[in-house]
Structure 1
Amino acid sequence: MMAEHPLVLSPQGHLKLIIFDCDGVLVDSEETCCRISAEEARRAGMDVPDEQAVKVFSGMALPGIQNMIEQKTGVHLGHDWAAMMQKRFVAAMKNGVEPVEGVYDMLNSIRKLGVPVRVASNSSQEEMDAKFSITNLETFFEKRIHSARDMGIPKPNPAVYLKAAEEEGVSPSECLVLEDSDTGARAAVDAGMTCVMLRAADKTVPEWENILKIHTLSEFAPLVEKALQQQGH
């Protein structure tokens, strides 16, 4: 299926904004949050061992996780469950979270290329403040962070990506997204954006249009630089 617009990385494209997911792309907090979710799922009677936590809950927003657990177990978790879990996530982040390997070099390289950057995540603003403070990443994204959780419209809905593009004053076809989850990639593609997925070599990516794959963050900036050179920047 042909894309409606040229890939933003092609010579015919116009790359004007890079939007990063947070967990699994910038900070390595996804496993921690997924394990907390698995713990709560087991408490409700859902069989999710810790080693399956990331596979089951990766990329999901808290309302989606709650809905899954309730459907699988028939247990009503309560109206305050998502708020309670968010507090647990924030506390876990303050106790320590690691940057994804190579993230500082990648972000510094993108900064030198002069392309504006934003973050669009299913995490709450409070969670991301904690994560970015701990990892010293806040200087890269000050006041350029968008929370689908706080918007009340989590991925795979594309709303948070469309909001980031709107705030930058660019069209979705001029945006490049870096994601690691299928949920986030679906949101990016449905927003009309090109999505680069950070995936291990032995893991596949969805067969959707406007999807590319890299194995490490060190591959991202050279990809962007080549595109900008081809586009005459």
Structure 2
Amino acid sequence: MVIFDCDGVLVGGENLSTALMGEEARKYGWNITNAEANKLFSGGELAKIGEKIAAHTGRKLPGNWAAMMEGRIVSLMRKEAKTVDGAEEMLRDVIDLGLPIRVGSNSSEAEMEAKFARTGLDEILEEERIHSGRDLNMPKPRPDIYLYAAAEEGIPPANCLVLEDSDAGVEAARKAGMACVLLRPFDKPAPQWPGLLRISHLDQFVPLLRKILASQSQA
């Protein structure tokens, strides 16, 4: 089975979410740029991000801050989410290979529903195969969300391949005992995990899968 992360792998626009968080941080007195916010907050839990902002500024955030930000992000994604270049074709090609697919993301189910509806990926991805680390309280880098997806499919973790773009996601896959492909430009640093595979564009993923399946058949 192939398990996909969402943000940065299937749907772009996480920088829009972190820009919202940067705006909030500045409101409370943290002089942070959107680029810095993206680096600090990308892939993080909203509650933890709120804690970071409160700790840095010495200001108390509203008790419903995380829920409020969640609503703003969902509204934003309904209008602004975009498919990562090549994602739709790649998903269809993986399905054509006969491999089951699932999504395991730190985004909430509401966020992913908005993102997939906006981009049209909801026509490919089945709702019951989309899993939220946030809603299940299994955020990466914990491996639980990937192990949950494997258990739901009835496939051993060793027979799963994860496509990720974040260090936290790579760590989650490693802890889950799953193979992992990192989608990231080759000139960018990456975790030093033996066996970690890398691609720089989604159009490289299915050819890599074909090579893996061919080598397994020969073995």
Contact 1:205 1:213 in 2 (8 A): no
Question: In structure 1, what is the equivalent of residue 215 of structure 2?
Answer: 230
Matched, 1:175 2:160: yes
Mapping for residues 56-95 of structure 1, pairs under 5 Å: 56-95=40-79
Q: Give the partner amino acid of 1:81.
A: W
Which residue is equivalent to 1:103?
87
Q: Is 1:201 paired with 2:152?
A: no
- Residues 1:184 and 2:169 are matched in the alignment: yes
How far apart, CA to CA, are the structure 2 residues paired with 1:178 and 1:35?
A: 25
Match of 2:24 in 1: 40
8 Å contact kept, 1:189–1:209: no
The share of aligned pairs that are identical, in percent, is 48
**Partner-residue secondary structure (3-state), 2:124:** helix
Q: CA deviation at 1:209?
A: 3.2
**CA distance in 2: counterparts of 1:210 and 1:40, whole angstroms:** 39
TM-score normalised by length of structure 1: 0.89
SS at match of 1:40: helix
Structure 2 counterpart of 1:14 = none
Q: d(CA) in 2 for partners of 1:201 and 1:96?
A: 27
2:122 partner amino acid: E
- In 2, the alpha carbon distance for the partners of 1:229 and 1:146 equals 29
Compute the TM-score of the two structures, normalised by the length of structure 2.
Answer: 0.94
Going from structure 1 to structure 2, the CA distance change for 1:205 and 1:81 (only over 3 Å counts) comes to same
Q: Give the residue type in structure 1 aligned to 2:60.
A: H
SS at match of 1:82: helix
Q: Which has the higher helix share?
A: 2
Give 3-state SS (helix, strand or coil) of 1:24's partner. coil
The alignment status of 1:156 with 2:145, answered yes or no, reads: no
Alpha-carbon shift at residue 187 of structure 1 (Å) = 1.2
Q: Which runs of 5+ in 1 are unaligned?
A: 1-16
Q: What number of residue pairs does the alignment pair up?
A: 217
Alignment of 1:22-41 (within 5 A): 22-41=6-25
CA distance in 2, matches of 1:159, 1:63: 19
Q: Deviations over 1:168-210 (max 9, x none)?
A: 1111111111111111111111111111111112101111234
Question: CA 1:47–1:190 in structure 2 vs 1: closer, same or farther (change >3 Å)?
Answer: farther
Distance in 2, matches of 1:173 and 1:45, equals 47
Taking only aligned residues, the RMSD between alpha carbons, in angstroms, comes to 1.4
User: Structure 2: which 5+ runs fail to align?
Assistant: none
Inter-CA distance 75–209: structure 2 relative to 1 (3 Å threshold)? farther
What's the offset of the Cα at 1:51? 2.4
CA shift for structure 1 position 165: 0.7
Ranges of 4+ aligned residues in structure 1 off by more than 4 Å: none
Cα deviation, residue 140, structure 1: 2.1
TM-superposed CA distance for 1:78, in Å, is 2.9
